[in-house]
A and B are shown apart, each in its own frame.
Chain A
Amino acid sequence: MLDGILIGLSTAFSLSNILMVIGGCLIGTFIGMLPGLGPMSIISIMIPVAISIGDPSAALILLAGVYYGAIFGGSTSSILINAPGVASTVATSFDGYPLARQGKAGKALTVAAISSFCGGSIGAILLMIFAPALASVALLFHSAEYFALMVVGLSAIAAFAGTGQVVKALLMTVLGLIMATVGEGALFNMPRFTMGIMDLQSGFGFITLAMAMFALPEALYLVLDPSRSKTEGGSNEIKDLRITKAEAKSIAPVIGRQSIQGFLIGVLPGAGATIASFLGYAVERNIAPKEEQKEFGKGAIKGLAAPESANNAACTGSFVPLLTLGIPGSGTTAILLGALIALNVSPGPRLMVDEPEIFWAVIISMYVGNLILLILNLPLIPYIAKVLAVPRNYLIPFIFFFTLMGAYIGQNNATELLILVGLGICATVLRFADYPLAPLLIGFILGSMLEDNFSRSMQLYDGLGFLMERPMTIGLLGLAAVLVILPSYRARRARLRQRGVADGD
């Protein structure tokens, strides 16, 4: 592990990679602050730039910086104008915004920055401990286990992302898998489902799909509902950034607890930073003394520190399944996986063995990213916050333009822009009807790997024999079935119980 850390240090601390982290954090903070733009949209927009860099370590370091920066920026807009840029910072606004309204915006931003820094750093240490252990277990896996593991990952994502509507999430996952079969795959070297359209020969572009699923609907929502980009009403005055010793002492245990809890939630596929932040807030509120509980929601710094440490630790935690198993646990890490594949890097247990410089550089750069966010962004916040003053009439055309550019640069084909618009409209309609979009993208990205491993197992065992002959495979597939059936069963039971109460039973 020490060798790996040294390799990571030398890669992450090269001048170009330091610039990547700084650039990524600043870009992420700037864009993440704009209400309505989440990390998935920002990372989608940044992917063509990252891919064109060519060096996978540098590209991943840039994207990880953008990811952290976006979460940080989202917290800032939550605190200053009560408009969370990302879902995972909604809980931040519960106490952050009341603090800002009391004229303590500077204090709130400091608490948020320190909590984020500690959450991210503790998460990175845990990642450094857990990831190699998990990767060495995963090295024992064969294609059959990989296939089963991906099914588990997809089922877990559907179960979590569906929040009571597991079938909808499952349908979206299968739709993503179906979309992945379009085009000429490497496996059979023949075009499938292209309907004779030349532009579909190479399949759907993953960048186009990511933009269409996240950036475009978000931008269309901003157009449809102008109140989403409203920036009035908050206190933008940022004066005193200091916190007292007593305050630091009171939030220290909260940060410690929520960093660990957030990390563990982040590791679970499908859970992610949003659930971690809400759960972190709820747990701290419940275990606080009675008098302090009353303060929650009115400007309690514990209520601000909890979601901030939890969401950053969860972001780091979500890298564990990505780097060690090659399975993304969230929409954001799915986009990062797509970027890695585009750069000819296959994340998974072999990544640590075959390309340790990428594996360790990403982990080390997470420390660096967190540190940069703390020392660079905190004093710059009053200036960066000026971005909130960009008028909607200028902001929206630029979001649309960068979405178009991202898809164009990714494929260098104008037809891709028409596909982007078509898919973007479909994604917006799906969002209206509450169909989760992250499972679709994750299904699409994992689709070819899933088919590849399934086909290899079928060929090795000359049929479905691998299901019976490999106990770990059957165990994992059983787990996948439980993951899908259990939430549906619980939701059904809750519905029946509710109906019983309503009927007066």
Chain B
Amino acid sequence: MALDRWIALVILMISLAYGYTAFFTMDEGLPPFMKFNAIWPSTFPKGLSVMAVICALIILLSPQKADAGPKAGDIDYRRLLDYKLGQATALLAMMVIYALALRPVGFLISTVAFLVISALILGERKLHILIPIAVIAAGVVWYLVQQVLGIYLRPLPFFMGTGG
């Protein structure tokens, strides 16, 4: 089965779960006075779930077209292993680690580590250039966000004060 049909199948499942909630469980806790209204919190979602199920079923059940291959300049998912899949996965993992480390480790250290390790993953080896660039970038962004935009970003690890 082609990828677009697998996706349609996943969306169909999500739509069915969404529709089940809208049709059967959502209105249970509704206060009695709201039940006299023409519109309930579930009214709109009910319509959406029906539409999503219909669209997903059309994609799933329509006759399979000849595979035209990827568009020019696009990535062919059928030969994904020919691309830099390892690097992409490692960078996504770095993003998750960064998200988890941002608060406890602090903005400055986690950002410098993220930028340096990401560049290393991509093949950069000139640490004497990379580290100063990462340190300057982290410092400048922290200053702009915290001091200019006024959005709190803990700069240092949690045991070294708030830095606010």
Contacts and interface: CB of A to CB of B under 8 A. Distances in A.
Contacts of A52: 149-151
B147 interface: no
A178 B45 contact: yes
A224 B85 contact: yes
A384 interface: no
Given A223-B84, A401-B115, A432-B3, A175 B52 contact: yes
A455 B39 contact: yes
A233 interface: no
Contacts of B71: 434
Given A432-B3, A433-B7, A434-B4, A188 B92 contact: no
A178 B52 contact: yes
Contacts of A458: 38-39, 43
Kindly name the residue among B44, B145, B149 whose own CB sees the greatest number of chain A CB atoms within 10 A.
B44
Contacts of B151: 52, 409, 412
Contacts of B3: 429, 432-433
Chief secondary structure at chain B's binding surface: helix
A131 B6 CA distance: 43
Contacts of A226: 84
Contact of B48 (A177, A429, A433, A434): A177
B21 to A, nearest CB: 6
Interface in B34-86: 37-39, 41, 43-45, 48-49, 51-52, 55-56, 58-59, 62, 71, 73, 75, 77, 80, 83-85
Interface string A368-400: 000000000000000000000001111011101
A393 B84 contact: no
Which of the four size classes fits the interface of chain A? 35 or more
A199 to B, nearest CB: 12
Kindly name the residue among B88, B94, B124 whose own CB sees the greatest number of chain A CB atoms within 10 A.
B88
B157 to A, nearest CB: 15
B95 interface: yes
A193 B45 contact: yes
A168 B4 contact: yes
A221 B71 CA distance: 14
Interface in B1-26: 2-4, 6-8, 11, 15, 18, 21, 26
Interface of B: 2-4, 6-8, 11, 15, 18, 21, 26, 29, 37-39, 41, 43-45, 48-49, 51-52, 55-56, 58-59, 62, 71, 73, 75, 77, 80, 83-85, 87-88, 91-92, 94-96, 98-100, 102-103, 111, 114-115, 118-119, 122-124, 130, 133, 137, 141, 145, 149-152
Interface of A: 48-49, 52, 167-168, 170-171, 174-175, 177-178, 181, 187-188, 190, 192-193, 220-221, 223-226, 228, 391-394, 396-398, 400-401, 404-405, 408-409, 412, 414-415, 417-418, 420-421, 424-425, 429-430, 432-435, 451, 454-455, 458-459, 461-463
